[in-house]
Amino acid sequence: MKKILTLLSVIALSSTSAVSAVACTPAQMDVDLGSSIIGTNINKANAKDLSVNPDTHHGVSNFFTLGDSLSDNGGLVTIAQDELGVTPKITGEYKNGFSNGLRTVELINNMIFDKEKESVDTFKASNLIHSADIDYKKDESSTAEKVWGRNYSVGGATAADAGGLFGQLLMKNTGIYKQAQALVQQQVINEKDLFVVEIGGNDLFGLAAAQDDYNAQRTIMTSAIDNIRNALFTLVNNGAKRILFLTPPDILLTPGHKGDDKVKVGNLCKEFDAKIAEVVKEVNAKYADTLEVYNLYQKLQEILDGFKKGNPNANITDKFCISTAFDLAELDLTNLEIKATRAEGNEEKNIDDYFFIDDVHPTAAGHKYVSKIIWDLLVAKNWVTN
């Protein structure tokens, strides 16, 4: 029962009410903030080289993802199994994560890797404590070995250090800085590898919940920005040269937060975005043309308008489903299940007409629309080829 209650607590991190005890949480790792040495002390002795021929993979030698529930394709289930030995079920309209189909990063991965031609799918979940569990042969002449998956995203993950008991027991190895450490420790990084990093949405939800608590705001903000900085420098200091960073969206445009105080929450979102911009500037000043940003805070309204323009029946303001991930009281402790159920009145409606499946997450149609935008950006950047 203790393990189940702990897991319930971490699921709450994805909801709008998820902020607790951040101020008393120790940092993820004691580091010298000198940017040149961040991440350089990681043991890479067991790292595996899963690189492919860029000439046959759209100019990309490998593809990695770090982030939260927007990119999770089994990350939350995997960390629950690794840390607690429990396996939550994600059901209903949810399919292997917090959407009803493939997420943006999965679609991009599938554009780079032709599953029919690849010997094994390595775009699976991994984390800092996960054991290598994928049987992999680089080519027919190689010996098979166990390797780690290439997606380090975890639903509920934050940039800021997770607070409270649940944060220390379950989420201590899932923050964005820990994801970067895990990737460097487990994967050989090559010059033409592509990285997509998206994080900060859960931090904004935490800031919104703390809109009247200045001390909590400062703690979340400082911790989040420090860990984003540490994560990015960990990647670039270990050879990453093509990083696309998706900033957190304007949460006031999501169904779960459209009723929030537009001044208080809006100012916190704006400040968070400005601080991320400072980190990006610092990274690019040291490693020119290494970090590209797609600013979801500034672009989300444009994305929603574009989604609606292409579909006269599109709904960009309401959620299609009611999700138990945002209401712990409804979860069955004897059979842990995170479920998305069509909202009343939506039984006969087409989910593809909706951008949001729940309070904050896009539908598969929403992800597909965004994936095309991201792909075109990567092509324009000459990081991938059509």
Q: What pLDDT score was predicted for residue 20?
A: 40
Q: What is the pLDDT of residues 321-354, one digit of tens each?
A: 999 887 554 555 556 789 999 999 999 999 999 9
**Minimal CA–CA distance to 313: which of 374, 363, 355?**
355
How far is it, in rounded angstroms, from Cα 159 to Cα 178? 10
Residue 207 has pLDDT above 70, yes or no: yes
Say if CB 213 and CB 15 are below 8 A apart: no
Q: What is the pLDDT of residues 26-37, one digit of tens each?
A: 344 444 458 999
Q: What is the pLDDT of residues 4-33, one digit of tens each?
A: 544 544 444 444 334 443 433 334 444 445
Would you give the end-to-end CA distance of the chain in angstroms?
51
Residue 310 has pLDDT above 70, yes or no: yes
Beta bridge pairs of residue 136: 145
Structural domains in the chain plus CATH codes? 2-21+40-380 (3.40.50.1110)
Tell me the percentage of the chain whose pLDDT exceeds 90: 75
> In terms of DSSP bridges, do strands 337-342 and 62-67 run parallel, antiparallel, or are they unpaired?
unpaired
**Mean pLDDT of all residues belonging to the chain:** 88
Distance of CA 324 to the CA centre of its chain: 20
pTM above 0.85, yes or no: yes
How far is it, in rounded angstroms, from Cα 347 to Cα 147? 43
